[in-house]
Structure 1
Amino acid sequence: MFPKNAWYVACLPDDIVDKPLGRKICGLAMVFFRGPEGQVAALDDWCPHRGAPLSLGRVCQGKLVCGYHGLEMGCDGKTVAMPGQRVRGFPAIASYPVQERHGFIWVWPGDPALADPAKLPDLHWANNPAWAYGGGLYHIACDYRLMVDNLMDLTHETYVHADTIGQPEIDEVAPVTKVDGEHVITSRMMHNIPAPPFWKMALRGNGLADDVPVDRWQICHFTPPSHVMIEVGVAHAGHGGYDAPADRKAGSIVVDFITPETETSIWYFWGMARNFKPEDAALTDTIRQGQGKIFSEDLQMLEQQQRNHLLHPSRKLLGLNTDAGGVQARRILDRLMAEEQAAPATAAVPVAAP
């Protein structure tokens, strides 16, 4: 139910500084650790000796040591040593292509021969000192596509986030959706409206008045497999909105990396990148806390929505005009998954351990 020939965020670099991390991604139990040169490795979380999770072990001089009987694994999935035992004939376990880039650890759960680093998303803000970033991680019990739907239709803000970023004016402007290849863009532009509480805080953080009318924008960008970047912001009304000069607006990019754990659970890496007052660490933390509260409000809705879907799998859903972004994203996903199923693998693809 998800593309596997794609790069997903697995974890953050600090998650694997000196110990292994076990994480299930696209139904595959993986273990992440750092090799002898500090490089990231990802293996099947399965010791070939007795099937113990390697993530319960430790890292010693760049080798992953099983916490059950001391079997030592290399970054390539081959057994390199075991106390009192020759290991030359031990079968290798699956290894997965990984990349450490843009402040994230990425993994490719599909055909290793197709894992092209050039296919990683271009995050122009990630290593730019003119930008600041703060974010977090939620584990949510829902289908990853429900989260994509949620982020590509921000109409729900008026109701789910009424005390933070929601406002009635959102309902008064219809979003516009277009598709460019595998890129879906849904835009909503609002003019001469009051700023909601979160954006009042952001305006103050940028040294701007928060009690004047603003122009507000929301531009949602979906790219496969499940990345959503949302350009958001407000500007003092009458100064060009999205194109207003920097001293008249507070704008950011909402960063959403949705990594399927199973068909009904996800790892949700969220954050916000901004290009105003990047040196203000206190502002970064304030925005991160505010955004974390906003996303926690989505969590309950999505998990209850998933429960309803499981209880009533045959019920049809009503389609609305505001669903266009999510509908187009799902069409792209359906096509990619169909192409994967139809194409012969060029190399052995690891399968989930029982």
Structure 2
Amino acid sequence: MTAVSTDTGINSQTQSSTTSKVLGYPLNAWYVAAWDHEVTRKPMSRRIADRPLALYRTEDGKAVALADACWHRLAPLSMGKTTGRDGIQCPYHGIVYNSAGRCISMPAQETINPSATVPSFPVIERHRYVWVWLGDPTLADPDAVPDMHQMSSDEWAGDGETIFAPCNYQLVLDNLMDLTHEEFVHSSSIGQDELSESEFVVTHDDDTVTVTRWMLNIDPPPFWLKNMRDKFPGFEGKVDRWQIITYRAPSTINIDVGVAKAGTGAPQGDRSQGVNGFVMNTITPETAKTCHYFWAFMRNYRLDSQLITTQLRNGVHGVFGEDEEMLAAQQAAIDANPDYEFYNLNIDAGGMWVRRLIERRLEAEGRRPDGSRLPSGVRQSAALG
């Protein structure tokens, strides 16, 4: 059943309630391991959900993800080299594994030990990313890859980057689910008073949470005024602004954003007198205190302009740099106050539902909110009810 909250988001009692600062990460899920162009014939290393992986491509271009530790002496396979059609050779003693993680060659002996294997993980390429599944491989459904079709659609143009964020991935999700922080952290670019003054609606189901906010008949902030003038040279006047934040478990958030000339029908669906973008975000936990933050800004206007693509990417890079500084400081404060629990405000409604969905996934895997294993046969109710 879908629940709806208005500008108060949740009842007033929420303001005095607490929630755990950081959460563990579900393993039965697709996480982005890399941009597709990052994975080549030369092996690379990336740590995902506390698991070091060796990523490479076979001769026919298929992306592969193996545990980054040789069966023999745990030497990192990512330091080795690819060989043959789909093999990777350990840099220490030359053992070769195929893309399924099975040893196919050992030095100085013809007999191969049947236990000589390394874990191989399901991989799928979609939306310009290489996704990996670290949990039960029988549950790795390609249809469960989050929808980010704007990344590869001919109707959208844009580019993005990767941020190495020195914080728990949940802090990034909190940041993206409550954009009122723009008023204070990004005051020179996209922030304005109307962000915290406007009403919002929160809806959710078993896998998604959506926060919708409209700001009507307002002055456009500098970032959006520039974009309006890119499409409508010389634009002046008020705009209707929207932010529609959609989270998909466990860690992908797409944000439908834009402005249109005030009163031209954008809230009813006519965005023709405005500019529309999607901020695509998918956050991959590395450790309990670090994560890989993959993002892109996609637009549906002036698709042929590389100049606008570059300007937008660089502009968003600057905005997210301000977020990165705040998130790093927040993680440092968490480390310095390990027993402190977060308090919640009305604006945290979307983020609280995100935490609830993650906790339910962890519970289904037999783990506590912090990611630690529950005793066999024990399950606990989601902490938020």
State the TM-score bracket (shorter-chain normalisation): over 0.9
The answer as to 2:126 corresponding to 1:101 is yes
Give the aligned CA root-mean-square deviation in angstroms.
1.8
In structure 1, C-alpha distance between the alignment counterparts of 2:111 and 2:284, rounded to whole Å: 35
1:97-155, Cα deviation, whole Å (9 max, x unpaired): 00011110000011111111111122332332111121000001111111111000001
**Corresponding residue for residue 29 of structure 1:** 52
The answer as to 2:67 corresponding to 1:59 is no
Aligned pair partner of 1:79 in 100, 103, 106: 103
Structure-2-length-normalised TM-score: 0.86
Q: More displaced, 9-18 or 117-126?
A: 117-126
1:279/1:165 CA distance change after superposition, 3 Å = same
1:4-28, Cα deviation, whole Å (9 max, x unpaired): 0000111011112221111110111
After TM superposition, the runs of 4+ consecutive aligned structure 1 residues lying more than 3 A away are 242-247, 342-345
Aligned pair partner of 1:137 in 162, 175, 178: 162
1:226-281, Cα deviation, whole Å (9 max, x unpaired): 11011100001111134564541011111010000011110000111211111211
**Corresponding residue for residue 350 of structure 1:** none
Q: More displaced, 172-181 or 128-137?
A: 172-181
Aligned pair partner of 1:45 in 41, 52, 68: 68
Aligned-pair distance for 1:344? Answer: 12
**Corresponding residue for residue 26 of structure 2:** 3
In structure 1, C-alpha distance between the alignment counterparts of 2:361 and 2:178, rounded to whole Å: 22
Q: Secondary structure at the match of 1:95?
A: coil
The answer as to 2:184 corresponding to 1:156 is no
Aligned-pair distance for 1:77? Answer: 0.5
**Corresponding residue for residue 15 of structure 1:** 38
In structure 1, C-alpha distance between the alignment counterparts of 2:299 and 2:375, rounded to whole Å: 43
In structure 2, C-alpha distance between the alignment counterparts of 1:344 and 1:114, rounded to whole Å: 22
Q: Secondary structure at the match of 2:317?
A: helix
Q: Secondary structure at the match of 1:75?
A: coil
In structure 1, C-alpha distance between the alignment counterparts of 2:82 and 2:226, rounded to whole Å: 44
Aligned pair partner of 1:336 in 358, 361, 371: 361
**Corresponding residue for residue 332 of structure 2:** 307
1:1-354 matched pairs, under 5 angstroms = 1-61=24-84, 62-86=86-110, 88-89=112-113, 90-243=115-268, 245-341=270-366
Q: Structure 1: which amino acid aligns with 2:92?
A: Y
Q: Is the 8 A contact 2:41 2:59 kept in 1?
A: no
1:189/1:161 CA distance change after superposition, 3 Å = same
1:225/1:344 CA distance change after superposition, 3 Å = farther
Q: Is the 8 A contact 2:160 2:296 kept in 1?
A: yes
Q: Secondary structure at the match of 1:133?
A: strand
In structure 1, C-alpha distance between the alignment counterparts of 2:109 and 2:320, rounded to whole Å: 51
1:20-54, Cα deviation, whole Å (9 max, x unpaired): 11111011111111123211111000012221111
Aligned-pair distance for 1:83? Answer: 3.5
Identical residues among aligned pairs (%):
39
In structure 2, C-alpha distance between the alignment counterparts of 1:338 and 1:209, rounded to whole Å: 54
Aligned-pair distance for 1:303? Answer: 1.0
In structure 1, C-alpha distance between the alignment counterparts of 2:49 and 2:141, rounded to whole Å: 18
In structure 1, C-alpha distance between the alignment counterparts of 2:203 and 2:52, rounded to whole Å: 36
1:311-344, Cα deviation, whole Å (9 max, x unpaired): 1122232210000000000001001100111799
Aligned-pair distance for 1:208? Answer: 4.5
Aligned-pair distance for 1:172? Answer: 1.3
1:174-196, Cα deviation, whole Å (9 max, x unpaired): 32212133211111100111111
Q: Is the 8 A contact 1:201 1:210 kept in 2?
A: no
Q: Is the 8 A contact 1:36 1:63 kept in 2?
A: no
In structure 2, C-alpha distance between the alignment counterparts of 1:79 and 1:87, rounded to whole Å: 11
Aligned residue pair count: 345
Structure-1-length-normalised TM-score: 0.93
Q: Secondary structure at the match of 1:221?
A: strand
Q: Is the 8 A contact 1:99 1:107 kept in 2?
A: yes
Aligned-pair distance for 1:206? Answer: 1.7
In structure 2, C-alpha distance between the alignment counterparts of 1:6 and 1:344, rounded to whole Å: 22
Q: Secondary structure at the match of 1:125?
A: helix
In structure 2, C-alpha distance between the alignment counterparts of 1:103 and 1:183, rounded to whole Å: 22
In structure 2, C-alpha distance between the alignment counterparts of 1:208 and 1:221, rounded to whole Å: 31
